[in-house]
């Protein structure tokens, strides 16, 4: 019997075998040093020092790895994970291709740190067209892109990039492994922020890298041990606990987005609505074929910063906040962070509120 439904997988991911008298998910192990064997030293046990070794972190990595379909390393944040992947793979003289419409902090890191290290930084829009991959060491994709929500065909890009000798990494933050599994589509690396929809409770920072390449995994493991960007034991335990409701949370968030996007598109105060689940959205053909579910993120424009502020003041359910994927519906005016969007562009992250209440509240706020 196959027991591989999303709800089943997230509830049981990474749990130890049942032992009478023990909890389903063991509590966090708080340790910097551990007891060492006086003769064999760290070779005698799995844990010797908390920076490279922690069983709570390993349990979370096992769980995420089961969902992504590859070996996984957890990091202190999504930014720590993606910069670790970039700095592990790239060397002076290499060329990297980044999404020009992707997460602004990654592009800022590339324009400063990577360029200063002698890496040739190039960009292309997520939806294409893509340049030749000849001479490229690493292609980083972010699909759906944050915040514009364009989508690219991972399998097609990976095949072309590999033919030219390039590695491919996919930022899977918006989709989560229940939305798409990039390693199965041909990616060499998956990077993501677990701060957002993966854990979904707006109470921790987390990142991870997944891969099926043993050499890349070994190099990333060494990088993390030497640079120390590990998440704490309690954050790992919180994240693992939160995974169990991922399927339920994503289902409600996607359902809310599906109900709300047409309402926004029809409202006279709103322009430029983007949600890859809308049949007339430019990303729909690829997203509907590639993704198992569309995230609860909607992009739209209210025309000015003042109109966005007025909308948020009138809404009772939409919180002004950055990040996304949490239980509460939030709106983020991306231009306030220096992102290259229009002044009135809003990234709305649908929470798990009742859809009728959410539509009524947002409609009333827009009508005002």
Q: Domain residue spans in the chain?
A: 6-243, 246-367
Q: Is the pLDDT of residue 2 over 70?
A: no
This prediction has a pTM of 0.96
Place of tokens 């910063």: 305
Q: Is the pLDDT of residue 1 over 70?
A: no
Percent of the chain with pLDDT over 90: 97
Give the pLDDT confidence of 165-175 residue by residue, as tens digits: 999 999 999 99
Q: What class, spelled out in words, does domain 6-243 have in CATH?
A: alpha beta
Closest CA to 351 of 328, 320, 330: 328
Percent of the chain with pLDDT over 70: 99
DSSP, collapsed to helix, strand or coil, labels residue 308 as helix
Q: What is the mean pLDDT of residues 178-182?
A: 98
Q: What is the mean pLDDT of residues 215-242?
A: 98
Q: What is the mean pLDDT of residues 303-310?
A: 98
Give the pLDDT confidence of 187-204 residue by residue, as tens digits: 999 999 999 999 999 999
Give dist(CA 283, CA 150) in Å, integer: 6
Confidence grade of residue 221 (pLDDT, cut at 50, 70, 90): very high
Q: Is the pLDDT of residue 225 over 80?
A: yes
| Whole-number pLDDT of residue 56 | 98
| Whole-number pLDDT of residue 299 | 98
CATH T-level assignment (fold) for domain 246-367: 3.90.1150
Long-range CB contact pairs, 10-14, < 8 A, 24+:
10/67, 10/178, 10/243, 10/244, 10/245, 10/246, 10/247, 11/244, 13/62, 13/63, 13/64, 13/66, 13/67, 13/243, 14/59, 14/60, 14/61, 14/62, 14/63, 14/64, 14/65, 14/66, 14/240, 14/243
| Whole-number pLDDT of residue 3 | 73
Closest CA to 355 of 246, 253, 250: 253
Looking only at Cα atoms, what is the longest distance across the chain?
A: 75
Residue length, the chain? 368
Give the pLDDT confidence of 111-155 residue by residue, as tens digits: 999 999 999 999 999 999 999 999 999 999 999 999 999 999 999
Give the pLDDT confidence of 283-300 residue by residue, as tens digits: 999 999 999 999 999 999
């Amino acid at each position: 019997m196959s027991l591989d439904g999303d709800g089943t997988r997230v509830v049981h991911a990474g749990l130890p075998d049942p032992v009478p008298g023990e909890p389903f998910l063991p509590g966090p192990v708080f340790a910097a040093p551990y007891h060492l064997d006086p003769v064999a030293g760290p070779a005698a046990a799995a844990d010797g020092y908390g920076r490279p070794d922690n069983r709570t972190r390993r349990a979370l990595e096992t769980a995420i790895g089961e969902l992504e379909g590859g070996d996984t390393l957890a990091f202190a944040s999504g930014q720590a994970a993606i910069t670790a992947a970039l700095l592990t793979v790239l060397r002076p003289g290499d060329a990297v291709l980044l999404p020009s419409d992707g997460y602004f902090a990654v592009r800022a890191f590339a324009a400063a740190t990577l360029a200063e290290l002698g890496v040739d930084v190039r960009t292309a829009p997520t939806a294409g067209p893509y340049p030749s991959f000849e001479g490229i060491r690493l292609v980083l994709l972010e699909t759906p892109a944050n915040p514009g929500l364009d989508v690219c065909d991972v399998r097609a890009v990976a095949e072309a990039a590999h033919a030219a000798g390039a590695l491919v990494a996919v930022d899977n933050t918006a989709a989560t492994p229940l939305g798409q599994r990039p390693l199965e589509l041909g990616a060499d690396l998956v990077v993501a922020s677990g701060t957002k929809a993966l854990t979904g409770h707006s109470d921790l920072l987390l990142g991870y890298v997944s891969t099926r390449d043993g050499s890349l995994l070994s190099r990333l493991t060494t990088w993390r041990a030497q640079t120390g960007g590990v998440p704490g034991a309690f954050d790992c335990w919180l994240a693992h606990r939160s995974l169990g409701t991922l399927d339920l949370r994503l289902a409600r968030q996607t359902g809310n987005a599906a109900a709300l996007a047409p309402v926004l598109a029809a409202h006279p105060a709103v322009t430029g609505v983007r949600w890859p689940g809308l049949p007339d959205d430019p990303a729909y053909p690829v997203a509907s074929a590639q993704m198992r579910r569309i995230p609860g993120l909607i992009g739209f424009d209210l025309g000015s910063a003042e109109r966005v502020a007025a909308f948020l003041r009138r809404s009772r359910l939409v919180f002004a906040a950055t990040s996304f994927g949490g239980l509460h519906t939030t709106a983020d005016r991306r231009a306030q962070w220096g992102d290259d969007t229009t002044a009135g562009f809003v990234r709305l992250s649908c929470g798990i509120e009742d859809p009728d209440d959410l539509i009524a509240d947002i409609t009333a706020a827009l009508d005002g």
